[in-house]
Structure 1
């Protein structure tokens, strides 16, 4: 039995909504990276024509920016219900790190034009917590920028590594072994940390970095007592 007119209309409405187009774009980007997002593949996935997509997005660049904004918005959507600004910043950083880990293509987009669109929202959410820490207003931009740059720098590096490392454990073991065999007089530090390289967890190291930055902020700008 052919689908009812109402069923066909509903599917067409879903396919032609901007939200559905962006959702499909995110799915394609997650599956195949930026190179996998083409309007031809997108029209096939949505079972529609290119004209219907161009009605909602002007070009591929706008679609990439919209997909990036959607993913970033989801990461920032939930206000962390933590008791202190430090804990809320840590929770926000975790959410953004996990988002880039789940959507590695976002890292490259955040260094391009879509970063300009996402920047105010990210800076606003993190910056509010910087203000709540008691940082003087004159230093809000610098302190917030340091935090945001660390978050996206570390997360982007993790995303880049995930693209090239098929077997992270094997790779780290090989590097750690090489380091442990270096000249002990020339590389005493490297030889000492080699076992830590082999066993480290990237997410835990990232959060340790956030804690170090927060400790520095607190030391530099102690709460008024």
Structure 2
């Protein structure tokens, strides 16, 4: 009697587009865009390149999908209207993006690319929809929706991207308090004739909370929007 041939073990986790994107995000987080290669991806997923190409045609498509997946998770703050006031809804969306950009070092660059080169893709309308629902709930007339939402989106992405860059630029081993104190002292030492404002606010830089400052900026923009477009009685 011939010995029975053992059947190969079935993968514990079937390869799907979602699993590929998840692995891509992990590679981007640890190695950056340069580290995201199909060779590295096949090694992480323990599969062949053909299986990946069946789901994703190119690195560009993979970057788009990874960006969209992270943004979708960041914006999962609940359906519109469930968070309370429009101000709170917009604030929740803004903080979700702020934290995602801080957590994923590659995301700010990819979001800038999406807005400029691929505005018809899923990422840009997803962000505008999340912010725009709050703008509409503020009572802004339809003719002002795009301008108001654009002001918020560009502030959110710009401020969040700069905050993340500041954190990486200072270095992982640098104490934040000590770093801010050194900057504050440098500003205080500036020529008072040339830099009166920078000297005046130097002390406010010490110990400030990045997320609180970010939300304060959102409040300023919302105050301007509601001043130009006051809610109907």
Question: Taking structure 2 as the reference length, what is the TM-score of the superposition?
Answer: 0.88
> In the TM superposition, what are the counterparts of 1:1-225 in structure 2 within 5 Å?
8-11=9-12, 13-14=13-14, 16-79=15-78, 81-113=82-114, 116=119, 117=121, 118-166=123-171, 167=174, 168-225=176-233
On the 8 A contact 2:16/2:55 being kept in 1, the answer is: yes
What SS is found at the alignment partner of 1:112?
helix
Bigger fraction of residues in helix: 1
Distance 1:159 1:179 in 2: 22
On the 8 A contact 2:114/2:124 being kept in 1, the answer is: no
Name the stretch that deviates more: 178-187 or 56-65: 178-187
* Runs of at least 5 residues in structure 2 that lack an aligned partner in the other structure: 1-5
Distance 2:142 2:78 in 1: 22
1:169 Cα offset (Å) = 3.3
Name the stretch that deviates more: 177-186 or 58-67: 177-186
CA RMSD in angstroms, aligned pairs only: 1.8
1:5 Cα offset (Å) = 5.4
Distance 2:216 2:157 in 1: 15
What SS is found at the alignment partner of 1:211?
helix
- Moved runs in structure 1, 4+ residues, more than 4 A? none
* Runs of at least 5 residues in structure 1 that lack an aligned partner in the other structure: none
Residue 3 (structure 2) aligns with: none
1:99 Cα offset (Å) = 1.1
On the 8 A contact 2:77/2:92 being kept in 1, the answer is: no
What SS is found at the alignment partner of 1:82?
coil
1:198 Cα offset (Å) = 2.3
Could you give the per-residue CA deviations for residues 1-44 of structure 1, whole angstroms, max 9, x where no partner exists? Answer: xxx958x3233x52x21111100111111112212211111111
Distance 1:77 1:5, change over 3 A: farther
